[in-house]
Amino acid sequence: MPPAALTNWSGNIAFAMTQRLTPASIDELRSAVASTSRIRPVGTAHSFNHIADTDATQLSVAALPSSVVVADDAKTARVSAGMRYGDVASRLLEHGVALHNLGSLPHISIAGSCATGTHGSGAGNRGLAGAVRAVEFVSANGDLVTLTRDVDEDFYGAVVALGCIGVVTTISLDVQPAFEMRQFVFDAMPADSVLHHFDEIVETAYSVSLFTTWRTRDVDQVWVKQRMSEAAEPDPHWLGARLADSARHPLAGMPVENCTQQLGVPGPSHERLPHFRLEFTPSAGEELQSEYLVSREFAAEAFESLATIADQIAPVLQVSEIRTIAADDFWMSPSFGRDSVAFHFTWVKDDGAVRPVMAAVEQRLAPFEPRPHWGKLFSVEPATVALRYPKLASFRDLVRRYDPDGKFRNKFVDPYLG
């Protein structure tokens, strides 16, 4: 058995697990699940909170055989759930197909990302789980279960499932013909443009991200990712922002070589949609992250509200990213039923200094009923978060059916499951 990672990627969570299992076959996995009384699946351990933690057994599917099988009609691909998005995307390209979207980092696992509602950016793009057509998992008694979109009602609770219904082994994903993209960065977008032209900004291209340090009223950078089929020449003075004439890193002063290629150079979608290159290994994880999704209609109001505490945010922040996500229908997804804007914070790695500011951010966003990202840090009370999920009761029933004895639960999810 490979040595277990004792912490999450950032190192801010020391896992309390007693052992880590890494079964090498589905049969081994099924008997491990059936014979273990408390067990928690883990992916690439990139979450910043205790969602993947347990004081019992942790189980990873990373040692199961990796496979990517594209269907004959080239509309779906069946992939091993423990694979990293970046690896899957490269394999898909060999078959001439691509996923609709990716997160900012290609190093995260498919199962772990879908379980927390991980998303990329794009006003018309649903989160990464939005591509899931079927999910296969081992439930508490060791059964292998398959749930399919448009066929099984349970499917809508089983994809963004917070690790609660079982161990996901294989996921079928919608794919589309491979496409090329290019990206441009704009510097110093005036806050007034953001406030009065937010929809125009986020709808200008397939995927758009705004980066701000909250140190000036302007938004420091806007990353615009165009599909080549809809590529338009950038206006060098777009809404008062300036087209960058050299490559940028979202954090000023950090090496641009770590970032995906910019300056309008076309490339495969999976080498433009993430902000960071797969071959770049994010080093020490010297950061903490939080993110809150609110209804997109409140984007400008929420931005203004956060700007009133910019002087509190800036000293403990590395950078904020603002992006949009289309509504989906996964019961526990932070973008369930609402087109969303996400306010993300990459904090300095100082929990004590960050916590009070995080609470201030949550207070400013409270009128907009934010749903915190399940894989990042937040301090909103579980009872308050629960109110923001209208299908939570259905999710609880689902969990009880596939895991009647609470085998997969942990302290993080307990308050939501009743």
Ligand X SMILES: Cc1cc2nc3c(=O)[nH]c(=O)nc-3n(C[C@H](O)[C@H](O)[C@H](O)COP(=O)(O)OP(=O)(O)OC[C@H]3O[C@@H](n4cnc5c(N)ncnc54)[C@H](O)[C@@H]3O)c2cc1C
Interface with ligand X by CB under 6 A: which residues? 9, 40-47, 51-52, 61, 81-82, 103-105, 108-109, 111-113, 115-116, 118-119, 162-163, 167-168, 282, 373, 375
In DSSP terms, which residues pair with 289 in a beta bridge?
346
Reported residue count of the chain is: 418
Residue number with CB closer to ligand X (60 or 204): 60
Q: Shortest distance, CB of residue 291 to ligand X, whole angstroms?
A: 7
Half-sphere exposure (Cβ direction) of 328: Cα atoms closer than 13 Å: 27
Shortest spacing between CB 275 and ligand X, in angstroms: 8
Min separation Cβ 293 and ligand X, Å: 9
Do residues 40 and 58 make contact, with C-beta atoms less than 8 angstroms apart?
yes
Q: Min. distance of Cβ 155 from ligand X in angstroms? A: 15
Cβ neighbours around 70 below 10 Å, total? 19
CB of 122 to ligand X, least distance (A): 12
**Whether 376 contacts 287, CB under 8 Å:** no
Helix (H, G, I), strand (E, B) or coil at 368: helix
Residue closer to ligand X, measured from CB, 372 or 375 = 375
Which CB, 130 or 163, lies closer to ligand X?
163
Nearer to ligand X, 162 or 173 (CB): 162
Q: Which residue has the tokens 């099924």?
A: 30
DSSP reduced 3-state for 298: helix
Q: By C-beta, is 81 or 417 nearer to ligand X?
A: 81
Nearest distance from residue 283's CB to ligand X, in Å?
11
Compare residues 44 and 183 and give the one whose CB is closer to ligand X.
Answer: 44
Closer by beta carbon to ligand X, 33 or else 234: 33
Give me the least distance between CB of 51 and ligand X, in Å please. Answer: 4
- CA 400-416-149 angle, to 5 degrees, is 60
d(CA 240, CA 273): 25
CA distance 238 to 230: 17
Give CA–CA dist 234/225, Å, rounded.
Answer: 11
Give the distance from CA 348 to its chain's centroid: 20
